[in-house]
Structure 1
Amino acid sequence: MNDSKNATWLGIDVGGANLKAAHSDGQARTSPFAVWKEPKRLAEAIAELTALFPPFDRVAATMTAELCDCYATKREGVLAIVDAVSRAVPGREPIYWGTDGRFHDVDAVRSRPLIAAASNWVALAAVSARLVDGRSAILIDVGSTTTDLIPVADGLVAARGRTDTERLQTGELVYAGVGRTPVCALAAELPFQGKPTGLAAELFATTRDVYLMLGDHAPVPDDRGTADGRPAVPEFARDRLARMVGADRDGCSEADARGLATAADRVLLDRLVQSARRACEATIGGPKVALVSGSGEFLARRVASELVGPSGEVVAMGDLWGAAASDAACAHALVVLARELLENQDASAG
């Protein structure tokens, strides 16, 4: 390892639908990339993202994309991702954060692949836990696809689960977010024009359309990564939501679409609050502080308010680190942890 105190770091978080990276100078970026559609192009996509940053000496990485169904097993996925990262950053030996709360070199991960599987939340939770002065807290990281709900006690991560399956069982992981979640996965029916209305079990609309209609997501006319391949703007979000109740724009006004979106948002909010309470009751009881981050930080803030109440405190990573770093919070946390590792090694050597 390069023990120079001036070494610059890049943290890389390889998700199934998004690649995220953060630089030790504070910059952070998120790039959509569907790993399951183009697994052979993963190294190229990572290289394209890293090329947008200033030069860097070292790389710390983590992942969740090993669960993509283009890989037969998570073990196969981890190994494929490790190879892709190495090809994307030639000449730099990446280190990987593990679910044991430590960094591991490439050889160690290749011998024990599952140690690096779905470990990004551990990095973010470890860094976040330092911000609450030993008080009971919960980390709420809402992304496009999933939500992490991690209890913190005495400045330490108090999660009961480590694997995705364990975390789904404890309520510490909810497979729902503010972008890619199909609306039909939120509820069997929603109120429409004043009546309970069954929802089509089809990928007609996602939560991205919900939050486009509600104004929480900014329109992106050039982005066609939507359910129907049309632009990510409110006009077409209205069409997509209308189809969820068997209607179209002729039978679903803007007000009707906003009503559907408001109802879908409430269902998701309630689900996250319920899971968070379940995770906390088994570990820390009622949290005094909530730490919020992610592309869905706006929703995380609302979940936090319901959990800690008016007497509690909400700490937003967007306020501390900036919006881009909050979106790429796990990658940002990797940089913090990697720099500390290097400093500790230098101190030991000295």
Structure 2
Amino acid sequence: MPSDSALTGWDIGGAHVKAARVEHGRVTGVVQVACPLWHGLDKLDAAVVQARAALGDTVHHAITMTGEMVDLFDSRAAGVVAIVERLTAALPGELRLYAGRSGWVAPAGAAAHADDIASANWLATAAWVASRCPQALLADIGSTTSDLIVINRGVASTSRSDADRLISGELVYAGLVRTPLMALAPAIDFRGRRHRLMAEHFATTADVWRLLGELPEHADPYPAADGGAKTPEASARRLARMIGRDVDEGSMDDWHSLANAFADAQLTALIDASRALPGITTLPVGAPVVCAGAGCMIAARLAAALDRRAVTLASLLADCAPTFADDATTCAPAVATALLAERAR
């Protein structure tokens, strides 16, 4: 029988489903499952089955999402409703939807509150972090995007949508794995000369961090840009192609240097966005960067560049088994949604 005291938090993304099980404030399980939602809602069904098998069933579920953005749906509102309908059929027990500033909503209210439910996972994470760390910069670097949120006696952001956050710099499309390298910069230095980048999907940030030896295990479940091998040599070949070269035109040291240049370009984008964030100038110098997401180590680099100390999201948890600490940091919105929902109960 499902546990009545446990609760599962769900973060339904367009590329991954993340789920966290909590009981009496303690994180007792976390899982991330690849879910290419743009291919169909059956992918969500399969991911939910896999997550339930890993965590076990509960009778209470708290849900946040970003998956409504995928081009499977005609609109974000339609995506919210479709995802909620699918989860209502798939999950046993009570479902509550995180609707940001509108609080918690029952599935029947999904259509009426679609604008607040859509892509509110960043706000769930920020709200929970604010309850544990009154002043901080939250840097959640995921596989696809980065969320940069000022916490100053509460969530400082006034954004209500992804459009708002793109304007403010709180949402940056520069993630650990899935970002095409042409999105990071228009040009890059290689062997002392500036190369304009090919506007082709030849390589992604996964190739950069793999070549640098910093790509976390299991962080990259999707095929490489060319469908090829996931080795340093194959990543070097893909990076070389971005500047119109073949891999045999340089040594592995050369391609390692090119990977570092792309990593620096990604970091520069995050630094620039952070320095322009609403409320950042009033954040005390002692306020840390709370690092979260699969790209937690990129967030730590950002902290160093901003001359702030770095703390992981897992370190803010009151009770989390060491086994789940890294996964809790990676799956921050699912963990935060679960803990906020448990508190609300």
TM-score, with structure 2 as normaliser: 0.90
2:72 to 70, 92, 113: 70
Q: Which residue in 2 is equivalent to 1:180?
A: 178
Question: Within 5 Å, which residues of 2 pair with 1:175-254?
Answer: 175-218=173-216, 223=221, 225-254=223-252
1:161 to 159, 162, 165: 159
Counterpart CA distance in 1 for 2:222 and 2:62 is 31
Q: Say which is worse superposed, 80-89 or 60-69, in terms of deviation.
A: 80-89
Q: Which residue in 2 is equivalent to 1:345?
A: none
Q: Which residue in 2 is equivalent to 1:11?
A: 9
Residue 314 (str. 1) matches residue 310 (str. 2): yes
1:222 positional shift: 9.7
1:223 positional shift: 4.7
Q: Which residue in 2 is equivalent to 1:289?
A: 288
Aligned residues of 2:10 and 2:19 also touching (Cα < 8 A):
yes
CA-based RMSD of the aligned residues comes to 2.2
2:41 to 39, 42, 56: 39
Aligned residues of 2:59 and 2:94 also touching (Cα < 8 A):
no
Q: Which residue in 2 is equivalent to 1:22?
A: 20
Q: Which residue in 2 is equivalent to 1:341?
A: 344
Change (3 A) 1:47 1:237: same
1:116 positional shift: 0.7
Change (3 A) 1:99 1:220: closer
Change (3 A) 1:8 1:224: closer
Q: Which residue in 2 is equivalent to 1:326?
A: 329
1:319 positional shift: 4.0
1:255 positional shift: 1.2
Counterpart CA distance in 1 for 2:219 and 2:247 is 19
Counterpart CA distance in 2 for 1:254 and 1:169 is 39
Counterpart CA distance in 2 for 1:213 and 1:340 is 42
1:273 positional shift: 1.1
Counterpart CA distance in 1 for 2:114 and 2:156 is 24
Q: Deviations over 1:199-245 (max 9, x none)?
A: 11100000010000111104669955210112322221111111111
Percent of pairs identical after alignment?
34
Q: Which residue in 2 is equivalent to 1:302?
A: 301
Counterpart CA distance in 2 for 1:304 and 1:218 is 19
Counterpart CA distance in 2 for 1:20 and 1:182 is 23
1:286 positional shift: 5.0
Q: Say which is worse superposed, 31-40 or 157-166, in terms of deviation.
A: 31-40
Aligned residues of 1:9 and 1:59 also touching (Cα < 8 A):
yes
Counterpart CA distance in 1 for 2:220 and 2:311 is 33
Aligned residues of 2:156 and 2:279 also touching (Cα < 8 A):
no
Q: Which residue in 1 is equivalent to 2:94?
A: 93
1:124 positional shift: 0.6
**Which one-letter code corresponds to 1:211 in the other structure?**
W
Count of residue pairs the alignment pairs up: 332
- Secondary structure of 2:32 counterpart: strand
Q: Which residue in 2 is equivalent to 1:114?
A: 115
What are the ranges of 5 or more consecutive residues in structure 2 without an aligned counterpart?
none
Q: Deviations over 1:155-180 (max 9, x none)?
A: x1111212000011111111111110
Change (3 A) 1:222 1:13: closer
**Which one-letter code corresponds to 1:93 in the other structure?**
E
Counterpart CA distance in 2 for 1:53 and 1:121 is 23
Change (3 A) 1:283 1:37: farther
Q: Which residue in 2 is equivalent to 1:104?
A: 105
Change (3 A) 1:96 1:220: closer
Counterpart CA distance in 2 for 1:333 and 1:55 is 19
Aligned residues of 1:291 and 1:316 also touching (Cα < 8 A):
yes
**Which one-letter code corresponds to 1:131 in the other structure?**
R
Counterpart CA distance in 1 for 2:248 and 2:262 is 21
1:57 to 52, 59, 70: 59
Counterpart CA distance in 1 for 2:141 and 2:119 is 15
Change (3 A) 1:86 1:280: same
Change (3 A) 1:102 1:262: same
TM-score, with structure 1 as normaliser: 0.89
Q: Which residue in 2 is equivalent to 1:151?
A: 150
